[in-house]
Amino acid sequence: MDTIIQGKAYVLGKNIDTDQIIPAEHLVYSLSDPEEVKLYGKYALSGVPLEQAGLPEGKIPFVEEGQFTSPYSFIIGGPNFGCGSSREHAPFALKVAGAKAIIAESYARIFYRNCVDGGFVIPYETTQQLNKTVMTGDELSLDMEKNTLTNLTQNITYELRPLGDVVNIVQAGGIFEYARKNDLMASSSEA
């Protein structure tokens, strides 16, 4: 299991809701057909107003036109990330697009649980307003053992709130896979 993730930052503001993460008109695609699943990645974060997409400059799409995945591994957000509906499609779309972790000041609880329970993306919390200091395109390194995020571009390290078993659940592929791997429930072949 990798405990260090490196990649580029994509910075957003506060109150990013699930309709901005995956607009309702894109909820028609199959979650099991590989060709349709790619479309969730293509439209991830496409509902964010262009001026607020890729801060501080804005007008930077998370996924480039004609692509299905994003060059950004990290999403940096403000407070109340993932507010809105309870749809699991939102963290699923971010995973399909290639996001590995979200670092935000706070989350809508149902969005946080969907990230973890589905094994989609690692939801770290920070006590700092990282979306005011990290810039879209900055190279970041997340150390999950030390619970730190290092901005390699700016040479600054930030402390993050520890995740506990959350990281193990996400890396196992979700709550049910975690339970099976830890003998907390019967495997699908035993059922």
**Residue 113 CB neighbour total at 10 angstroms:** 18
The pLDDT of residue 184? 86
pTM of the model: 0.93
As a whole number of angstroms, the distance between CA 26 and CA 7 comes to 27
The pLDDT of residue 185? 82
Q: Going by C-beta distance under 8 Å and a sequence separation of 6 or more, which residues neighbour residue 115?
A: 82, 91, 102, 107, 121, 122, 123, 170
Q: Are 109 and 16 within 8 A, CB to CB? A: no
Q: 20-42 burial, b if ≥16 CB within 10 A, otherwise e?
A: bbbeeebbebeeeeeeebbbbbb
Structure tokens, 98: 């290639």
Structure tokens, 38: 């790619």
Structural domains in the chain? 4-182 (3.20.19.10)
Concatenate the DSSP letters of all residues of 153-180 into one string: TTTEEEE----TTHHHHHHHTSHHHHHH
The pLDDT of residue 2? 77
Q: Are 99 and 122 within 8 A, CB to CB? A: no
Mean pLDDT, consecutive 10-residue stretches, the chain (191 aa), reads: 90 97 95 96 97 97 97 98 92 98 97 95 96 98 96 98 90 90 75 53
The pLDDT of residue 144? 93
Give residue-wise pLDDT tens across range 154-191.
999 999 999 988 888 988 999 999 999 888 887 666 55
The pLDDT of residue 188? 60
